[in-house]
Amino acid sequence: MDSEIRALIAHFDLQTLPVEGTLFTQSYRSREKTATGELAGSAIVGLFCDEPRSFSCFHTLTHDEIWHFYRGDPLRLILMHPDGSSEDVILGSDLAAGQHVQFVVPAGVMQAGELVAGGRYALYGCTMAPGFSAASFAAPNEAALLAQWPDRAADIGRLCVHGDAKMPADI
């Protein structure tokens, strides 16, 4: 493992997020609750890297999620919209190349993320308000994804959940 990646994992005490495959730490969890009992807000620091391989599987959330790019190589968000369209969004520091340092993924949009090919790592953050909960997360199986977005078969095969798609309640 690359020494810089090892140092980031140690510094942030990154662990593998169940279901997803992302290396993460929850950096903020609001003590306040919404009127419906959800966390008022939450934030994570995440790491996509080539070794150990880290990525975000296809999933939807019930609330908007804001992605923040911190450092390293660009990362790619694959967004698949309910109307059947899809797009790639690149987060990184090269603004002249159209990369974003921050991007909002709307609630209900199928999303996955990974390091751009050839990169070593991308350090990023995600924030949500209301905050993340296991109940806000849904990860469909490969067949369901392919039925709606057949043109994304390669991405789906690489980044769909293989196995249990239920996020533990204590996340």
Q: What pLDDT shows up at residue 1?
A: 79
pLDDT in tens, 21-47: 889 999 999 999 999 988 999 999 999
The band of 14, judged by pLDDT with boundaries at 50, 70 and 90, is very high
In this structure, which topology does domain 3-159 adopt according to CATH? Jelly Rolls (2.60.120)
Instruction: Give residue-wise pLDDT tens across range 83-106.
Output: 999 999 999 999 999 999 999 999
- Burial of 3 per CB tally in 10 Å (0-12, 13-18, 19+): exposed
pTM of the model: 0.93
For the chain, give every domain's residue range. 3-159
| Percentage, residues of the chain above pLDDT 70 | 96
Using DSSP's 3-state secondary structure scheme, residue 98 falls into coil
State the Cα torsion 112-162-168-47 to the nearest 10°. -40
Q: What is the pLDDT of residues 116-128, one digit of tens each?
A: 999 999 999 999 9
- Mean of all residue pLDDT scores within the chain: 93
Structure confidence at residue 162 (pLDDT): 75
pLDDT reported for residue 163? 66
Helices in the chain by DSSP H: which ranges? 3-12, 142-148, 153-159
Q: Indicate the residue type of 56.
A: S
- Asked whether the beta carbons of 76 and 67 are under 8 A apart, the reply is no
CA–CA gap between residue 26 and residue 89 (Å, rounded): 24
Q: Could you count the other beta carbons within 10 Å of the beta carbon of residue 96?
A: 5
**153-168 per-position pLDDT tens digit:** 999 999 998 766 777 6
